Structure 1
Amino acid sequence: MSEQTHRERISVDHPATGRVNQPGREEGVVRAGAPPVEHERPEDWGWHGETGRWGRVGAVVATLFMLAYLVGNHEGRIEDIWVVSIAALMVLILLLDWRRRRNAWRAK
């Protein structure tokens, strides 16, 4: 469907909509009388980047909880292999994060 046909179809099918030029973005379809969509920063929605120090502390606590699963009344050792492997993966991710932050331009 061509762009012109698409535009005509939108205006015929939905008379309560209009086309607006949005600053720094492509043309958009909005309700009649509505302002154009403006840029929204991730911080406006609650995302502030990294989890910071508390996220790293939480990862260490979660790793210790994983290793606490080794104490129990299970008899097989397959569970131990899985628990230790997952805990080792978590420690590896923590070490890689520590190295990345240490070598970063700005450590957070």
Structure 2
Amino acid sequence: MSDASGRGQGNQTSARVIEQSTREEGIVRAGETPITHERPEDWGWHGESGKAGRIAGYVMIVLLLTLIFGNHRGHVEDLWIIGAALLILISLIWDGRRRKNAWRSR
């Protein structure tokens, strides 16, 4: 059962609530220290997917468009497939323009 403040601690006496200046309020166990700063490089992501990601985007467009040819009679799913392919294409065009106009393109 949580207490009146809505923090969900209940009757736990070993945890404490801390205020962090750049993060939201956190609950810390006894004997532990709060995380002061967490960088994306610390957990593995530190860049874009680059050329391989753009190639994968174009391959996905081709694969999606091949799904149009099949043994189905209704064409509602074709609209969804074309819409998804267009969404990927728009994001690839946006990424290309962003990289072209960027100070340091990849």
**Normalized against structure 1, the TM-score is what?**
0.64
Cα distance in 1 for residues equivalent to 2:100 and 2:68: 32
1:39 corresponding residue in structure 2:
37
Deviations 1:19-71 (A, max 9, x none): xxx9x979x98667656644332101001132211111111111111101011
**Normalized against structure 2, the TM-score is what?**
0.64
Alignment of 1:57 onto 2:70: no
**Compared CA separation, residues 25 and 104, structure 1 to 2 (3 A):** closer
Cα distance in 2 for residues equivalent to 1:99 and 1:56: 13
Please tell me the residue identity of whatever aligns with 1:86. A
- Give the greater-gyration-radius structure (CA): 1
Alignment of 1:107 onto 2:105: yes
Cα distance in 2 for residues equivalent to 1:77 and 1:36: 54
Unpaired runs of at least 5, structure 2: 1-11
1:76 corresponding residue in structure 2:
74
1:91 corresponding residue in structure 2:
89
Deviation at 1:78, TM superposition (A): 2.0
1:3 corresponding residue in structure 2:
none
The structure with more helix, counted as a fraction of residues: 1
Unpaired runs of at least 5, structure 1: 1-12
Cα distance in 2 for residues equivalent to 1:86 and 1:32: 49
Name the SS for the 1:97 alignment partner.
helix
